[in-house]
Amino acid sequence: MHPKALLEACTGLVGEMLKLEHPADAVVARYFRENRSLGSRERATAAETGYAVLRKRALLEHLASSGSGPRARRLAILAFAGPRDLLQGALSADEQAWLAQCDAVAAADLPEPLRHNMPAWLAQALQEQVGEDFWALVKAFDGTAPLDVRVNALVGKRDEVRQELAAAGIESTPTPYSPWGLRIAGKPSLGKLDVFTRGAIEVQDEGSQLLALLLDARRGQMVVDFCAGAGGKTLALGAAMRDTGRLYAFDVSAHRLEALKPRLARARLTNVHPAAIAHERDERIARLAGKMDRVIVDAPCSGLGTLRRNPDLKWRQTPQEIEELVAKQTAILESAARLLKPGGRLVYATCSVLPQENEQVAAAFSQAHRDFQAVPVQAALQQLKAPAAADLCSGAEGAFLRLWPHRHGTDGFFAAAWERAR
């Protein structure tokens, strides 16, 4: 493809992504469906350019306030993710001179908002929590997430799977915190490997693996994954249960649950019962009240722990929407808790880094439910033989799981746990 056409394609995608109307990954997928002439390398360049604009939006908008031509083109030039000589081949002489001027700007001397590239409310919320680590966190959120897989214990052992991957030319190392995980070197495509097609591995962030581990789902138990979505946690729980007992996978999105079904088959799980529910008080749920050994609420949340993968979220979320989410999270947790039998364990989890969606929801639940005893996550993970559990937790006695990209290399995650009084 001619460099000019490639830059046009990048500009078109940047323009769509900056509308911020839909999740960035959905915008990218639609753009490629509608622009079928783009080859795989061109798609990668366009997508990386678009994501780079979202990551550095404040800085790039500032730089793009000079120059001429459409704004999306200026931003695509500044963030262009392909080879530099190719970009030069697409630019007019004026654009080349303007780009050289922008290159000469020392980003380190710019005001803070142009360096952290976040809305003020979010930067403040993060600064309040991580203090002097703030810039390390900004850097980590700007980076790419590693490729982690969870080894399906039903199908293989971690060491054996690691050797099998090595035989296929793929290097990996055991994840530092999750006993189920391997961190894959580079970004090889895994989908066609035998180890993948026969269900021995599933792509899953190490942090997500730890949330499922924390539930401590065991053989023969009755378990509910209340917000199962496409089933990332469900698959991990089913394997922990050794495909015995009964695992209900609820979600309000029938569409997401559909995506779970082929994954269940590949993971060789037969103990999972997916069920679309209308809302958290659906009467199907009422029938299971008091019968469950384990319930996990992987709540709908702002997703602000996943900015490495979804940088659009920092521009698409608003404090008002966070408030609405907190009300939803509280209602779901309340309903889900009713399902537990005495002695049963409840886990509330998010992939948010905001205290409102995390500690505050957990504290309000504890306050309102004296029959639920908080289980310190640190002790629970230590019992489950998770290495370095103390490093993963925050609050008095390691009350909560609190994962951060700059400290743990995972997405940002939170979890709290309770046991229902006997």
Ligand X SMILES: C[S@@+](CC[C@H](N)C(=O)[O-])C[C@H]1O[C@@H](n2cnc3c(N)ncnc32)[C@H](O)[C@@H]1O
Give the span between the Cα atoms of 198 and 377, in whole angstroms.
33
- Residue 377 beta carbon to ligand X: minimum distance, rounded to whole angstroms: 18
What is the C-alpha radius of gyration for the chain, rounded to an integer number of angstroms? Answer: 23
Q: What one-character DSSP code corresponds to residue 106?
A: -
The answer to whether 179 and 213 have CB atoms below 8 angstroms apart is yes
User: Quick one: which of 183, 243, 194, 185 has its CA closest to 218?
Assistant: 243
Spatial strand order in the sheet of 201-203: 172-174, 181-184, 147-151, 201-203
Annotated binding site: 251, 298
Decide if 123 contacts 63 (C-beta within 8 A). no
Closer residue to ligand X, CB minimum distance, 11 or 302? 302
**From residue 140, how far is each of 48, 79, 127, 136, 200 by CA, in Å?**
17, 18, 14, 6, 30
Instruction: Name beta bridge partners: 229.
Output: none
Residues found in the chain: 422
Q: Give the residue with the Cβ less far from ligand X, 172 or 306.
A: 306
State the minimum distance, in angstroms, from the CB of residue 318 to ligand X. 18
Pair type for strands 222-225 and 292-298: parallel
Could you give phi then psi for residue 358, rounded to 5 degrees? Answer: -115, -95
Least separation in angstroms between CB 107 and ligand X: 34
What is the token pair recorded at 75? 């931003």
Residues 6+ away with beta carbon under 8 Å from 108: 115
Nearer to ligand X, 332 or 386 (CB): 332
Q: What is the C-alpha to C-alpha distance for residues 244 and 312, in angstroms, rounded to an integer?
A: 40
Nearer to ligand X, 226 or 414 (CB): 226
Task: List binding-site positions for S-adenosyl-L-methionine.
Answer: 251, 298
Q: Which two tokens stand for residue 415?
A: 């979890």
Residues lying near ligand X in the complex (CB under 6 A): 208, 226-233, 250-253, 256, 277, 279-280, 298, 300, 332
Minimum CB separation of residue 277 from ligand X in Å reads 6
Beta carbon of residue 100, minimum distance to ligand X (angstroms, whole number): 44
Neighbours of 9 (CB within 10 A): 22
Closer by beta carbon to ligand X, 78 or else 201: 201
> Nearest approach, Cβ of 171 to ligand X (angstroms)?
26
Number of neighbours of residue 161 by Cβ within 10 angstroms: 19
Residues facing 297 on adjacent strands? 348
Q: Could you confirm whether 351 is annotated as catalytic?
A: yes
Which residue is nearest to ligand X, using beta carbons? 232
Residue (226 or 418) nearer to ligand X, CB: 226
Calpha distance 78→100 (Å, rounded):
10
Residue closer to ligand X, measured from CB, 4 or 284: 284
Cβ atoms of 11 and 78 within 8 Å: the answer is no
The residues that are catalytic are 351
